[in-house]
């Protein structure tokens, strides 16, 4: 249920104009703080009940919702009283939220043949996959002015602009960080097998069995190809160079 009485303009409302439906003010001279009926003082409860009784007296048969302005106790009927107008800042906020122009890369161009015989071009959002979903069967003809003009046939031509390329590749700085972290992981045991599995190459080959494990029929734990020749961490290599120890994991295991 809506009120058919036109609302005040913002200038009329700011000047203190009364409600055009009931004649009562939108904003009270005495401010009102809504803090819940349980927290009312005796004076506030008496004022609240008086306003409630006055509303019932004027709108007993309306059976509609009620509305009021923040900071005022005067209550208005949703059937008899139009709502107060929106402020310019509220209009700007709503326009900014709902009035965002559709990017050209989301608009699909359609070539349409109309009942009047003209062929025109129109755009619709790319999510409309059918002709009826995009234009609901009719549109206006700019050639002869026929409105509505029934659409006889049509086809999608293409997007107005190509969508922007993905930036998942990253900047040179992120690529360098990714390569550096991969190099740090390259010496860890099992990294080669994990890398091969992630690339779909399967598991790396294992090393040959030793004579002890061949006799028992069991193999040594798998060792990734290339891990044995991977260099040791830098602090370990420096200590190994001073004392004359091997500098790779393979040499260290055979030492």
Evaluate if residue 119 carries a pLDDT over 90: yes
**Omega of the bond prior to 148 within 30 degrees of 0, cis?**
yes
As a whole number, mean pLDDT of residues 100-126 equals 91
**What backbone torsions phi and psi does residue 157 show, to the nearest 5 degrees?**
-95, -45
pLDDT tens for 45-68 read 999 999 999 998 888 888 888 889
Give the pLDDT confidence score for residue 227 in this predicted structure. 43
d(CA 217, CA 119): 81
**Strand-strand pairing, 138-139 and 119-125:** unpaired
Q: What is the mean pLDDT of the chain?
A: 76
Residue 126 structure tokens: 């790319």
Length of the chain: 255
**Residue in this structure with the two tokens 């295991």, named with its chain if needed:** 253
Confidence label for 167 from pLDDT (cuts 50, 70 and 90): low
Close Cβ partners of 222 (under 8 Å, ≥ 6 residues apart): 193, 203, 204, 206, 207
pLDDT tens for 174-232 read 667 777 666 665 555 555 555 555 555 544 444 444 444 444 444 444 444 344 455 55
**Omega of the bond prior to 195 within 30 degrees of 0, cis?**
no
């Amino acid at each position: 249920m809506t009120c058919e009485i036109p609302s005040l303009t913002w200038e009329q409302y700011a000047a203190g104009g009364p409600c055009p439906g009931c004649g009562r003010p939108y904003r009270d001279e005495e401010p009102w703080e809504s803090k819940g009926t349980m927290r009312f003082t005796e004076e506030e409860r008496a004022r609240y009940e008086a306003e409630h009784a006055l509303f019932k007296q004027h709108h007993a048969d309306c059976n509609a919702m009620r509305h009021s302005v923040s900071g005022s106790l005067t209550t208005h009927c949703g059937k008899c009283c139009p709502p107060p107008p929106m402020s310019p800042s509220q209009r700007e906020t709503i326009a900014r939220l709902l009035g965002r122009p559709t990017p050209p890369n989301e608009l699909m161009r359609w070539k349409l043949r109309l009942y009047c015989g003209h062929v025109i071009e129109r755009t619709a959002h790319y999510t409309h996959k059918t002709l009826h979903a995009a234009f609901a069967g009719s549109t206006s003809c700019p050639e002869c002015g026929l409105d509505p003009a029934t659409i006889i046939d049509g086809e999608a031509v293409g997007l107005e602009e190509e969508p922007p390329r993905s930036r998942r590749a990253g900047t040179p700085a992120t690529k360098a960080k990714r390569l550096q972290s991969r190099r740090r992981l390259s010496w860890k045991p099992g990294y080669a097998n994990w890398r091969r599995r992630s690339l779909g190459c399967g598991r790396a080959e294992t090393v040959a069995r030793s004579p002890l494990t061949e006799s028992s029929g069991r193999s040594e734990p798998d060792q990734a190809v290339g891990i044995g020749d991977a260099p040791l961490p830098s602090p370990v290599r420096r200590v190994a160079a001073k004392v004359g120890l091997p500098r790779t994991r393979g040499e260290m295991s055979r030492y």
